[in-house]
Structure 1
Amino acid sequence: MKHISIEGSSKTVSQLIMGGDHFSESKYDLVSSLLDTFLANGGNTVDTAHQYGEDGASEKAIGRWMKERGNREQVVILTKGAHHDETGRRVNPQAITHDITESLKRLQTDYLDMWALHRDDPNVPVEVVIDVLNEHMNAGRIRAIGASNWSYERIQAANEYARSQGMKGFTFSSTNLSLAKMIVPRWEGCVAADEATCAWHAKTGLPLLSWSSLGGGFMAGRFSPEQRDNEEMVRTYYSEANWQRLERTKELAAQKGIPFVQLALAYVLHQPFPTCALVAAYSAQELHNNLAATDTTLSPEEVRWLEYGEQ
């Protein structure tokens, strides 16, 4: 499996990142089996968040697995925090420090390879965020910082401030990037990589770690134009352009003799800037299908054809 470099992290990051949002200790046998297989096949990066699962179930399961295997130095942990909750927006120094502290305890580690703001609050100055995150990096609790669901303009502003103060800025972004393009945001504050965002990543070289790389299952073929019981999917992804992208993906996959889901994931990994795909697996077969995407090669012309069709 290919890996990319994230500035600040002492370890390279596997292009396929294991999504751990559904992990819990109640499913620990499955979780540990999936993680063992992932690691054995060249994957090393696991995505989680302070808010995933009741009382941090996802982080606790990952922490237990690392402790039992004694493999902390072989694993890259990406966790997130400062997500909004019933009390309101939480992009502030107190919430950031609280979530980092709890994540360290749950994961049974004294450092986090990568930590990202899970949401943004445009009303909070970037200076406030950069200042507190640099305090945690200077203390050794975090090695690299990033932002999930932040616009590239906000990330750029944060990094310009960091540079002006001789501080460390964001070295990765985690937004949605998929062949299935959102018509409207899936939820308030959701950020998907549009053409301007991708152009900015190509210009700066900042890595993009894509969540929901299969468009909520759209590019996995879980939906059809006649199936309209999932209101969120209909509202977000049901467009003629997306159905055509799905058909082109199936066509090219058939020519290559591979599953079309594998090709849809490969699209994310063949951008003109560093990318990783965050993908959850609920079974050994799903994991093997995901892993196979890292061996799939696409030319720039094929990538463009999948997205836009004949030009």
Structure 2
Amino acid sequence: MTPNTPTTQMQYVRLGATGLRVSRFCVGCMTYGNSEWNGWCKNEDESLALIKMAYDAGLNFFDTAESYSNGQSELILGKAIKKYNLDRSRIVVATKVFFPVLPGNTPFFMTMEDRMRNSSLVNTFGLSRKHIFDSVEGSLQRLGLDYIDLYQVHRVDQNTPLEETMEALNDLIRMGKIRYIGTSNMRAWEIQKANNIAERRGWAKFVSVQNLYNLLYREDEREVNPYSLDAGIGLIPYSPLSRGKLTGQHRTTVRTEAATSVPFMTFTDADTMIIQRVAEVAEKKGVRPAQVALAWLLAKPCVTSPIVGIGNEAHLQDIIGSLSVNLTADEVTYLEEAYIPKPLM
């Protein structure tokens, strides 16, 4: 599985205000794992080949989580690094902590209430010092690495003081087990509170935020995006194509069907209009709709590296091709003006 020679070379940018340089796109590894965990996951052999293909195309930034396929995603990424001898000094490995690694192929989509009531899950999730320290050891073992470049909290833990979480993360940096820390699925005030705690104590601060952001969900433009830009925090948005809806193919997949019950992911008439406009702009420019949607994200000064799922060579070519798509101010306005605000996630 070798991609065609790209006409556009991969670009590299700093992650927020750090000196760490990452590819303009980040490879989302949630897709790589076990199809029994979720039907849209790729098997190991295909996943390994896709990771190698992305690396050969210049992508050096890989994002996973301990909970993806209950640890299988981290295992596969670690196997790819070893099998293909990916240059450790060049690649940036990111993973996340919060959810438990469950036995077998149990999905991690459980409510917090169910987790709290399940005696077998005590201390196996959240952002306590104990779970963070246990989790980083598990992730390092599965990845087969001596350190993790970017260690991210997967969500807010209402049952653990932020001081405890930030101190534990800072200690892991001092111990050399991680290099930088980031966050995911947090509001602006929560990120600011955490970083203020760290700054007062002389601890490491969050350098990145991984939230949902695309043409169909733009609620972070209210506070998270401007705050991140002002504070020098790199935005690495996930689902840049809104689970495939912005590809213009009107796909119905296991992932899109699962999202219909989530208020902030509910499909609306405004979404249909935006998708149509993406297709119109793409046709006018002679490119694919996915490339227009990605180019729109890249044009935002707060965005560092959108997290993309790469399931085949065509996906990779769309990603690389979007680097050379330049949208005019009028085109950006045309794509954005039909948007109607949605409930916050």
TM class by smaller structure: 0.7 to 0.9
Instruction: Name the Cα RMSD after superposition.
Output: 2.5
Q: Deviations over 1:259-299 (max 9, x none)?
A: 00111112121102242111112222222222222232224
Pair 1:280 & 2:327 matched: no
1:60 and 2:60 matched: no
Q: Which residue of 2 aligns with 1:297?
A: 326
Aligned counterpart, 1:198: 225
| Counterparts in 2 of 1:273 and 1:194: CA distance versus 1, 3 Å | closer
Contact 1:268 1:275 in 2 (8 A): no
Q: Are the aligned partners of 2:16 and 2:304 in contact in 1 as well (CA < 8 Å)? A: no
Task: Report the Cα distance in structure 1 between the residues aligned to 2:19 and 2:224, rounded to whole angstroms.
Answer: 27
Q: Residues 73-114 of structure 1, C-alpha deviation per residue, up to 9 Å, x if partnerless?
A: 221111111126653361211111111110000110010010
Find out whether 1:50 has 2:66 as its counterpart.
Answer: yes
Q: Give the fraction of aligned pairs with identical amino acids, expressed as a percent.
A: 26
The one-letter code sitting in structure 1 at the alignment partner of 2:238 is: W
Q: Which range moved further: 236-245 or 192-201?
A: 192-201
Determine which of 6, 10, 17 is the counterpart of 2:15. Answer: 6
Residue identity in the other structure for 1:268? L
SS at match of 2:82: helix
* SS in structure 2 of the partner of residue 146 of structure 1: strand
- Aligned counterparts of 1:262 and 1:274: Cα–Cα separation in 2: 16
Instruction: Tell me the SS of whatever aligns to 2:164.
Output: helix
Q: TM-score, normalised by structure 1?
A: 0.87
Q: Distance in 2 between matches of 1:284 and 1:140?
A: 36
Is 1:207 aligned with 2:234?
A: yes
The alignment of Structure 1 onto Structure 2 pairs a total of residues equal to 297
Q: 1:78 to 1:9 in 2, by over 3 A?
A: farther
What's the secondary structure of 1:74's corresponding residue?
Answer: coil
The residue type paired with residue 115 of structure 2 is T
The answer to whether the Cα contact below 8 Å between 2:248 and 2:276 also exists between their aligned partners in 1 is no
Partners of 2:247 and 2:321 in 1: how far apart? 14
Could you tell me which runs of 5 or more consecutive residues in structure 2 were left unpaired when the two chains were aligned: 1-9, 35-41, 101-107, 109-113, 117-124, 340-345
Aligned AA (1:59): E
1:260 counterpart (273, 285, 289): 289
SS in 1 for 2:47: helix
Indicate the residue corresponding to 2:167 in structure 1.
131
| 1:7 positional shift | 5.9
Distance 2:82 2:139 in 1: 15
Q: How far apart, CA to CA, are the structure 2 residues paired with 1:8 and 1:143?
A: 14
**2:131 maps to 1:95:** yes
Judge conservation of contact 2:61–2:94 (CA < 8 Å) in 1.
yes
Range 81-90 or range 252-261, more displaced: 81-90
8 Å CA contact retained: 1:118, 1:149? yes
Does residue 111 in structure 1 map to residue 147 in structure 2?
Answer: yes
**Preserved contact between residue 52 and residue 80 of structure 2 (Cα < 8 Å):** no
2:55 corresponds to: 39
Q: Post-superposition shift, 1:247?
A: 1.4
Task: Please say if residues 185 and 210 of structure 2, whose CA atoms lie closer than 8 Å, have aligned partners that are also in contact.
Answer: yes
Consecutive unaligned residues of structure 1, counting only runs of 5 or more, are 183-191
* Post-superposition CA distance 1:189-209 (Å, at most 9, x none): xxx624222222233232111
Alpha-carbon distance in structure 2 between the residues aligned to 1:52 and 1:8: 28
* Equivalent in the alignment of 2:92: 76
Other-structure match for 1:187: none
Query: Relative to 1, partners in 2 of residues 1:10 and 1:200: Cα closer, same or farther, differing over 3 Å?
Result: closer
TM-score normalised according to structure 2 size: 0.79
Check the 8 A contact 1:46/1:78 in 2, yes or no.
Answer: yes
By how many angstroms is 1:33 displaced? Answer: 2.0
